[in-house]
Amino acid sequence: MNIASSTNHAVRPVKRRTLWKTMYQQRCLMLMSIPFLIWIFIFEFGPMFGWLMAFVQYDPNKGILGSQWAGLRYFKMFFQDPDIWLILRNTVMISFLYILSSNVFPLILALMISEVGDGYFKRALQTVTYLPHFVSFVVVANIFLTLFGMRGPVNELLRGLGWTDRPVLFWQDKNIFWYMVTFVRSWKEIGWGAIIYLAAIASVDQEMYEAAKIDGCGRFRAMWHITIPSILPTITLLWVLNMAGIFNAGFDASYLLGNAMTREASQVIDTYVYELGISMGMYSFSTAVNLLQTAVGFAFVFITNTIARKLTDYSLW
């Protein structure tokens, strides 16, 4: 017992000395990181104080701490709404379709771009595909509302080809609204999402491709057996991170592309909070719903990370 105790006491000072030694050796890097740590605490952790608003009957004149305590009143109000299950369905389905498309299509685009030889065309292709990311969604929404409008170019083309005798109501049909919104959001972000995959593909050892080519492996087989397994950690990481948005269907898309005829399919949590919370001044209610979204997103990230670790041995932690 005495020997074991003395050994433990001897190991701890060594570890502490090693830690302080490492910190001293990297003191310049640690000093450089201080402004960023301050920024994170002020703008990321600081606003979390506002979550207390979800548990009080917020009065702007009294502030959060001076307002009357409400407990779980606004959380109960959210779940007691008769339309809440319809809203949750729309939110989850639109989010799931976008998460699926935002992981699959950028990967396919990155694989296609990686097969293009280095040169002007490849650089131009990359620029054109990720440029829509920087365009405001208001502009993007108006472009697609015009393209797929009753008298838009798409309907004119369909009539010209003889595929339809009457205009297709793309934006008035609630049965296809989820897919139309997913298409627009994916088109806007597909190039931006492909950048991460392209960076991962660029780090793959080129000698493996040369060896596969000698063995008679074609491009598609090389993609399947070399590229995708090599970037699997990146694919897994993006899937896990994107699952945080399972309760976030995107306010801009549903608000700008939805209308009274598609309300049954377009109303999501974000538009619901905007209409009942912000527009009517129910700030505590809006905060409560936002807190629920954050909690559910964190839970899905944790669950997805656990599944990914068991299936692929890759995970965030």
Average pLDDT over all residues of the chain = 86
94 closest CA partner among 249, 307, 278:
249
- Tens digits of per-residue pLDDT, 139-154? 999 999 999 998 899 9
Amino acid code (one letter) for 246: I
Domain 74-312, what architecture? Answer: Orthogonal Bundle (1.10)
- Whether this prediction's pTM lies above 0.85 is answered by no
CATH 1.10.3720.10 residue ranges of the chain are: 74-312
pLDDT tens digits, 267-305 = 999 998 888 877 788 889 989 998 998 888 889 888 988
pLDDT score recorded for residue 13: 58
Structure tokens at 301: 């990230």
Burial of 254 from C-beta contacts in 10 A (0-12 / 13-18 / 19+):
buried
109 against 164, higher pLDDT? 109
- Contact between 137 and 218 (Cβ < 8 Å): no
